[in-house]
């Protein structure tokens, strides 16, 4: 073996060390990506109230509503706690839209202007009233007035 030349026996060890460092690097990158995931609605303190037409509605403290499901998280609204005759969510995408409001738990029916709302009972004193619209619905053509209830 010539002087100043590395021994061939060291090369396999060096390659093994490089591979080990590479594997550790890949694992570190993978673990850092998964640790920054978006918290679930439950982790954010929301209670699932139900699914209507492929959209799942979640409420928190009878003052905030978010959605998951077919239309994604397009609803992320809040307002005063409980029934205030206003919607807490009136949001749209090209795939459709949602309207949500809180109404008294004793309500038998609810409307937002001329739109009938579907009622979800919750564990609290208020129900969540919702409507889901499909693609092609023109929100400008809807009369979404004050939220009214029939008891």
Domains in the chain, number: 2
CA 72 from chain center: how many Å? 6
Cα–Cα distance measured from residue 96 to residue 80, given in angstroms and rounded to the nearest whole number: 26
Residue 33 lies in a domain: yes
Tokens of 18: 């490089």
Cα-flanking dihedrals φ and ψ of residue 71, to 5°?
-100, 5
Structural domain containing residue 51? 47-150
Q: Do 55 and 3 sit in the same domain of this protein? A: no
Q: Do 119 and 57 sit in the same domain of this protein? A: yes
Q: Do 60 and 9 sit in the same domain of this protein? A: no
Residue 143 lies in a domain: yes
Going residue by residue through the chain (151 aa), what tens digit of pLDDT does each one get?
Answer: 556 655 555 455 555 555 655 555 544 444 444 456 889 999 999 999 999 999 999 999 999 999 999 999 999 888 888 888 889 999 999 999 999 999 999 999 999 999 999 999 998 899 999 999 999 998 888 888 899 999 8
Q: Do 8 and 64 sit in the same domain of this protein? A: no
Residue 75 lies in a domain: yes
């Amino acid at each position: 073996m010539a002087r100043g030349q590395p021994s061939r026996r060291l090369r396999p060890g060096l390659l093994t060390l490089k591979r080990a460092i590479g594997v550790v690097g890949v694992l570190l990158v993978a673990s850092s990506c998964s640790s920054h995931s978006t918290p679930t609605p439950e982790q954010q303190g929301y209670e699932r109230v139900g699914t209507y037409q492929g959209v799942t509605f979640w409420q928190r403290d009878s003052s905030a509503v978010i959605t998951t499901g077919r239309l994604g998280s397009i609803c992320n609204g809040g307002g005063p706690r409980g029934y205030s005759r206003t919607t807490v969510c009136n949001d749209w995408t090209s795939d459709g839209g949602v309207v949500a409001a809180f109404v008294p738990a004793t309500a038998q029916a609810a409307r937002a202007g001329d739109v009938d709302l579907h009622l979800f009972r919750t564990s609290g004193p208020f129900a969540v009233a919702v409507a889901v619209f499909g693609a092609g619905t023109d929100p400008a053509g809807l009369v979404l007035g004050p939220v009214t209830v029939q008891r």
